[in-house]
Amino acid sequence: MMYNTFMDKIKKNQQHKVKILDMTHEGTGIAKIDGFPVFVSNTLTGELLDIHIIKANNKYAVAKPLKFYQKSKKRTEPFCDVFHRCGGCDLQHIKYEEQLIIKKQIVESNLQRIGGFNDLLVDEIIGMEKPYNYRNKAQYPVNEGKIGFYAKKSHTIIEHDKCLVQDERVTKIIEYFKNQEISHIKHLVFRIGDDKLMLIVVSNNRKPFFDIELLIATFPFITTIVLNYHPNETNVVLGKENITLYGDGYITDQLLEISYRISPNSFYQVNKVQTEKLYKKVIEFAGDTKNKTIFDLYCGIGTISLTMAKDAKKVIGIESVIEAVNDANINMKENSIDNCEFICNKVEDEIINLYNDNIIADIVIVDPPRKGCDRVLLDTIIKMNIEKMIYVSCDSATLARDLKILCDENYKVLNIVAIDMFPHTKHVETVTLLELK
Ligand SMILES: C[S@@+](CC[C@H](N)C(=O)[O-])C[C@H]1O[C@@H](n2cnc3c(N)ncnc32)[C@H](O)[C@@H]1O
């Protein structure tokens, strides 16, 4: 029997015995029931199991596992009690070495499906030696007396005792807040640097409403506390107004021997160990930078700019968040570097100003957010005919889309390396080297 019509499709709440045939590029198992595709969470290719259908339409169904008859050798016991409910990690049930293989395949599959690159392989994937407690940033939503992480595709808060990808000090502070009055708190955000921990309490109340002295006495490792006033109901975690209640109102951290100041609203890579490997790859791909002008687009607090400034003639960094640009300028001075210029503007607008002023680089580095590069930016880079381009990406789907645009014109891809910045999640970072054809 073929389930091809709306009437005889697979229905919600049915149970079936299936074999997992393949996996999506998000790490979900794919089974087929008489040709009808069923996506089964937390399963691996080759597994035989009973499933429970939780959603079905006339194109596909979604199911959760019920009982396993045959488990994959790639499977491991998830280390977190709330793995099946929390939306934070997707791949915890897969051995770490296998996670790396899957992530490499995800990138290659996106390059093929979206970019049309049939022969482009990822050169290597650089994993972590100890893929735990790696995050230097945590954002815990608070609602209806609960503190935790959101469930997958929902705003339901899943509480947990500890999260093994977070810093252990964060878990202790979360436990403390679980016994406090938290009705004014929207999020608890943590930023961690070398021996520094910043607690940002995001609130719809501008006046401090918690015992700061008790908090510091209980957790002497907190170096600064900031109240972030955020009265609006949006999906953006932080509001614009920061009130420093204790300490400097920022943290500092070192990457490849350069020290950085990081303000609450500034972007900073979440995994320090892997960021250093990422930046080393950028240095390697850039090659000889003597007397070269470099554009660092989407530059954040200037980390890539300052890393590249040593040998280069000049680095121009562009970033739209003013706090990050202020940090970048301070970071340049504090590290006695004087050949960078940081511009606060949208890259897609500023690149046109540079083009019109005939300011062109020898190397352009882009590191956009997940949505990828703006089309105007890509078109202008193509027009500028910049010899070398390094594309740092945290989303291989938008990377593939953008590489297609560049390679349909004057660029070719020379190398792609993946770096596992986010172990146990489906996310993967890449660095791509392009040159003019
Ligand atoms: C993935 S981060 C990269 C930051 C930096 N390269 C690093 O390694 O820390 C992307 C940065 O781009 C900035 N951004 C996002 N959209 C932008 C735009 N249209 N123009 C300029 N900057 C933008 C964000 O504020 C963020 O700092």
Q: What is the pLDDT of residues 114-135, one digit of tens each?
A: 999 999 999 999 999 999 999 9
- Write phi, then psi, for 355 (nearest 5 degrees): -60, -45
Atom of ligand 1 nearest to the CA of 266: 27
C-beta 369 within 6 A of ligand 1:
yes
Instruction: Decide if pLDDT at 350 tops 90.
Output: yes
Indicate if ligand 1 lies below 6 Å from the C-beta of 304.
yes
- Ligand 1 atom having least distance to the Cα of 268: 9
pLDDT per position as a tens digit, 222-233: 999 999 999 988
User: Atom 1 of ligand 1 has which residue's CA nearest to it?
Assistant: 369
Residue 267 CA to ligand 1 center (angstroms) comes to 7
Q: Measure the CA–CA gap between 142 and 127, rounded to whole angstroms.
A: 32
**Worst-scoring range by mean pLDDT, 148-152, 288-292, 402-406, 421-425?**
148-152
Averaged over 23-33, what is the pLDDT? 87
Distance in Å, CA 395 to ligand 1 centroid:
14
pLDDT attached to residue 6: 47
Residue 314 reports pLDDT greater than 50: yes
Band the pLDDT of 416: cuts 50, 70, 90.
very high
Ligand 1 neighbour 373 (Cβ under 6 A): no
Q: Does pLDDT of 200 surpass 50?
A: yes
Could you tell which of 258, 267, 278, 347 is best to mutate to test the pocket of ligand 1, judged by most ligand atoms within 8 Å of the CB? 267
Helix, strand, coil percentages, rounded to 5, for the chain: 25, 30, 45
Q: Is the pLDDT of residue 415 over 60?
A: yes
| Each residue's pLDDT tens digit, 379-394 | 999 999 999 999 999 9
Active site residue 394: yes
Cα 424 to its chain centre, rounded Å, is 12
The yes-or-no verdict on residue 63 having pLDDT over 60 is: yes
Measured from the Cα of 374, ligand 1's closest atom is 19
Residues 238, 265: Cα–Cα separation, whole Å: 7
Point out the ligand 1 atom lying closest to the alpha carbon of residue 346. 20
- Whole-angstrom CA distances from 9 to 18, 53, 56, 96, 267 are 16, 12, 8, 37, 46
Q: Which CATH superfamily is 15-70 part of?
A: Nucleic acid-binding proteins (2.40.50.140)
Residue 315: pLDDT above 90?
yes
Q: Ligand 1 within 6 A of 136 CB?
A: no
Taking alpha carbons only, the member of 301, 385, 307, 294 closest to residue 344 is 301
- The pLDDT assigned to 161 comes to 85
Residue 151: DSSP 8-state: B
DSSP string, 47-102: -EEEEEEEEE-SS-EEEEEEEEEE--TTB---S-TTTTTBSS-S-TTB-HHHHHHH
- C-alpha distances in Å from residue 244, one per residue of 131, 211, 214, 229: 33, 14, 17, 11
In sign, the C-alpha dihedral spanning 242, 243, 245, 250 is positive
pLDDT score at 210: 87
Reading phi first (left if > 0) and then psi (alpha if -120 to 50, else beta), residue 105 is in alpha
* Top mutation candidate among 191, 303, 319 for ligand 1, by most atoms within 8 Å of CB: 319
pLDDT higher than threshold 60 for residue 1: no
Confidence band for 4, pLDDT divided at 50, 70 and 90:
low
Rounded to the nearest integer, the mean pLDDT of the chain is 94
Confidence check: pLDDT of 7 > 60: no
Average pLDDT over residues 349-376: 97
Q: Do 185 and 203 touch, CB atoms closer than 8 A? A: yes
The answer to whether residue 5 scores a pLDDT higher than 60 is: no
Domain ranges of the chain: 15-70, 137-253, 271-436
User: Given this model, what pLDDT does residue 9 score?
Assistant: 76
Residue 154, pLDDT score: 87
Read off the amino acid at residue 59. Answer: K
What is the per-residue pLDDT for 8?
Answer: 64
Whether 15-70 and 137-253 share one fold: the answer is yes
CA nearest neighbour of 205 among 223, 222, 224, 181: 181
**Residue 112 predicted with pLDDT over 70:** yes
- pLDDT exceeds cutoff 80 at 347: yes
- Averaged pLDDT for residues 351-366: 97
**pLDDT band for position 216 (50/70/90)?**
very high
Contact 429 CB / ligand 1 (< 6 Å): no
Q: Output the CATH code of domain 137-253.
A: 2.40.50.1070
CA angle 249, 255, 256 (to 5 degrees): 155
The verdict on the CB of residue 324 being under 6 Å from ligand 1 is yes
CB atoms within 10 A of CB 175: 12
Ligand 1 mean position, distance from CA 367 (Å)? 7
Instruction: Please give the distance, rounded to the nearest whole angstrom, from the Cα atom of residue 366 to the centre of ligand 1.
Output: 9
289 CA from centroid of ligand 1 (Å): 23
179 Cα distance to chain centroid: 31
- For the chain, give the number of residues: 437
Residues 6+ away with beta carbon under 8 Å from 37? 30, 31, 59, 60, 61
Domain 271-436 falls under CATH 3.40.50.150: yes
Average pLDDT (134-159) is 92
Nearest CA to ligand 1 atom 7: 300
Question: Is the Cβ atom of 287 under 6 angstroms away from ligand 1?
Answer: no
Ligand 1 neighbour 350 (Cβ under 6 A): no
* Catalytic residue (choose from 80, 89, 373, 394): 394
Distance separating alpha carbons of residues 398 and 135, to the nearest angstrom: 24
Helix H or strand E encompassing 278: helix 272-286
